[in-house]
Chain A
Amino acid sequence: MSELLEVRNLSVSFDTPAGEIQAVRDVSFCVRAGEVLAVVGETGCGKSVLCKSILRLLPEIARIKKGQILLNGVDITGYREQDMCRLRGRFFAMVFQNPMTVLNPSMSVWAQIAEAVKVYGRNMSREEVEQRVIQLLDLVGLEDLKKRRQQYPYHLSGGMQQRCVMAIALAAEPKLLFADEPTTALDVTIQAQILDLIKEVQARLHTATVFVTHDLSVAAKAADRVAVMYAGKIVEIGTTEEIFQDSRHPYTWGLMRALPAFARGRDSLYSIPGMPPALIDPPKGDAFACRNEYALAIDYEKQPPMFQVTDTHFAATWLLDERAEGLGIRAPVFRMEEEDCQEEQKSPEAAAKVLLDVQHLTHVFPISSGKTLTAVDDVSFQIRRGEIFGLIGESGSGKSTVARCIMNVYRPAGGHILYQGIDICDSREFRAHKKMLQSTRQMIFQDCDGSLNRRMKVCDIIAEPMRLQHVKPPRGTYRAEAAFQMQHVGLAAAYLDQYPCALSGGQRQRVAIARALSMEPALLVADEPIASLDVSMQAQIVNLFRHLQKEQGFSFLFIAHDLAMVEFLCDRVGVMYQGRLVETGSVKEIFHHPVHPYTQKLVASMPLPACCTGWDERRQNR
């Protein structure tokens, strides 16, 4: 196969007031015609920057410091903007992470696709452009749009928007397609569809694809070769088989261990300790050394070169140096736990006590001129004391609305919510027990950025509910109480006087958790608490939830669309679909014997077990 794209020693940095951020450091790889290369790594490791620097779509503060980019053997590193314009779309194209924002909101989708077609075929007649747009819509499975040309992006669902972006990217039949986390912003079932679409298109048009993802299982499903990136460098690259069966770099091992599917029946999810280094001043030695349990002394001193394992497999770790051979460090063997872990039996009296009883809850939103949207339709479920109840379903299925009704944010149109036997929808009963109700139910939100007041210090944020409810702090002062709570959720007390903007996403979510726990709630409602976090952060936060819940025994309503996390964390699960609760049951029932067709579809589309089982079987067959 000929080499379509070759990147040699590419370094890209951003000039910021704080200093030079070395986002991509000395990266070399190649993409051959028709193959799929997956680039895997945590957020901020430089995956997206790498792609955008090849297409030259980065802002002006970014510059290519050194290295070469060769297309079909031609060096395009020094190309000017006009030359790049001619290449973009025609030679390479890109699909972005967030289809909602990359489509121009005030232009019809048809016009946007047609525009891409016209860039490519300038002399095309109107009819030819129309024909081509129809062809493209067929290709990406948007037959519905052919007749409706006045559809704007906001008319479409996320999955359809991503299909439109695909159509635009494929308009000129590029030889190389960059897909930058194309499924991350979408629902699980839609994710699988888009992934299939990319594979299908790839097979039909023989487009070489660079697939950027943080999800190893997606990479395993889609790619021929995998490159693992960490802190701006490619640390390991090889064929999919090699990476998944014979990985050599400790970071790759860590990523694999963090897959929730491997945590079935275990106490906690694995997460790589620590945080990726800041790239303003990257460490002298191996950037991964301080998080690496297998780190050698030399890792802190000198950056490892790429060691060749096989013809196609390279890894940058000193473990592969002949001097380290003697240490005998091999990849830990991963295996899915057999389902032999015994269900933890709740003591019978605990099981009997129902804390929250939702009966026939219905909520209706008015939309324009007298029409209404039934967001929640006759939903009933119970949460017992000390139980973790997971609520899953795709976006728009009414999960958040249920949570908000339970928290008295919305007033439901019908049904009852009994909390400790009190009907909280009844305003008279609510007022009578207001203090108790407000202090024993706490909520954690998805967007930890928006749910913390950015003008309040962390200690004030955590102590605010106590102040509002006039709770006397058990540890003397509010500040001491806040410090205690922070320690509890794994935050250093040094952050007490910081503002939220100084914290990372995971730390902010910990602050939100500390705030909720400061009231010692009996019911904690978490609305997609991990959706906006990085994978390794997700694992840490879910571990924290599990740990805290065991310790304090509160009831926990956990809303998520990440099935693997729900399977790991929850005792019982409810599945919502279009406002209705279609199935409830224990985790085991739902995930192993789903009854409702939607649940079956959902469980089948879980990317993790499918790939990992396959891979595990292959492993055992060897």
Chain B
Amino acid sequence: MKINRYMKIIGRKILLLAGSVFILSLLVFYISRLSPGDPLVSYYGDRAEKMSPQEQEWARDRLGLNDPIHVQYIRWLQNAFRGDFGISYKYKMDVTAVIGGRILNTLLLGGIGFLLIFVLALLLGILCAWHEDKILDRVICKIGTVTSCIPEFWLSLVLILIFAVSLRWFPSSGAYAVGKENNPADRVRHLVLPLTVVVMSHLWYYAYMIRNKLLVEVRADYVLLARMKGLRKSQVMFRHCLPNILPGYFSIMAVSVPHVLGGTYIVETVFSYPGIGTLTYESARYQDYNLLMLLSLITGITVIVCNMLAQAVSERIDPRIRVDDEGAYGEVEEL
């Protein structure tokens, strides 16, 4: 019976995901075609301007751009179901191939960045809450306020200037040096600066949040009872307060996946890092419709799945939000 219930819940979630993705694709499809610009330019480059109107008409026809938008959408949808997401106008190859070469780079940058933010924010938040209003707390808070005000691109440029140009410790651009594609050490060297920017620009916000939420918990009544039992400060903090803020933290972190992803897109551009961030930006700019569609779908699915995961994790930790089919009411009445 229990398995049955889980299957039902999972089925519902998958339906929800499919629905969301469908609406997302529809919106992106229409909106991208509303923006000004000519996709022919991205396909033919400078040659597009030299083409005669007849040639342009023919080219559009060939790319299927002359049909009404809904016809185009249905065609795209049909192809997408078969796994064919079309070709990129700019790169003149399958969009999956274009993305496939780069998505790993972004996953590496975004994933590691996200994990670092997650863990460091937790540590910093606990540290600050532990030393509430002491000198350490104040210093960390001041540093955080200043750092979170620095725009990402500026921070990137300063870091490049110091560590790449002056000190020459780390390379300033790319994901690997030419010819060292499979050398992990080299990849790590290339990751250091972009990662620093991603982490530094997001970390403080979450660290503050943890700090403040913990401080609210520390003042809660149940802490009195826990201390009355004779628990030490660390036991109260890690057994009682921390578990109570984690569900909220998980869901906020999940919601902020696009936030962090957006951050990596900027960083990728400044560091000329070959990830899908740069690609998304270019595809939107050059009317590379098929590429844009797939990238938006990937981002969207990531966000939705993260949210669902966060909810699942929160439910595991906090019994109060569980979908309680047995109902708490019945038991109260019974007792």
Contacts and interface: CB of A to CB of B under 8 A. Distances in A.
Given A86-B230, A155-B332, A165 B225 contact: yes
* Contact residues of B: prevailing secondary structure: helix
Interface residues of A, number: 46
Given A82-B232, A115-B229, A369 B329 contact: no
A107 B221 contact: no
Interface stretch (B123-131, B239-247, B270-278): B239-247
A488 interface: no
A88 B230 contact: yes
A107 B229 CA distance: 15
A105 interface: yes
Interface residues of B, number: 31
B331 interface: yes
Interface string A41-63: 00000000000100101010000
Contacts of B220: 101
B232 A152 contact: no
A87 B227 CA distance: 11
Contacts of A106: 243-244, 317-320
Nearest to B233: A81
A172 interface: yes
B335 A156 contact: yes
Contact of A371 (B317, B318, B319, B327): B327
Contact of B244 (A98, A105, A371): A105
A461 B222 CA distance: 36
Nearest to A120: B230
B325 interface: yes
B329 A367 contact: yes
A102 B221 CA distance: 5
A367 to B, nearest CB: 5
A119 B230 contact: yes
Nearest to A150: B319
Contact of A88 (B222, B228, B244, B325): B228
A155 B320 contact: no
Nearest to B319: A152
Contacts of B330: 371
A102 B229 contact: no
Contacts of A103: 222, 225
B308 interface: no
Interface in B183-239: 219-222, 224-233, 239
Nearest to B226: A104
A57 B227 contact: yes
25 contacts: A57-B228, A81-B233, A85-B230, A86-B230, A88-B227, A89-B230, A98-B221, A101-B220, A102-B225, A104-B225, A105-B244, A106-B319, A115-B231, A116-B230, A119-B229, A119-B230, A157-B332, A157-B335, A165-B225, A168-B229, A169-B228, A367-B327, A371-B327, A371-B329, A373-B329
Given A94-B228, A106-B320, 17 more contacts: A85-B230, A88-B227, A88-B229, A96-B224, A101-B220, A101-B221, A103-B222, A104-B225, A105-B222, A115-B229, A152-B320, A157-B332, A168-B225, A168-B228, A368-B327, A368-B329, A371-B329
Interface of B: 219-222, 224-233, 239-240, 243-244, 317-320, 324-325, 327-332, 335
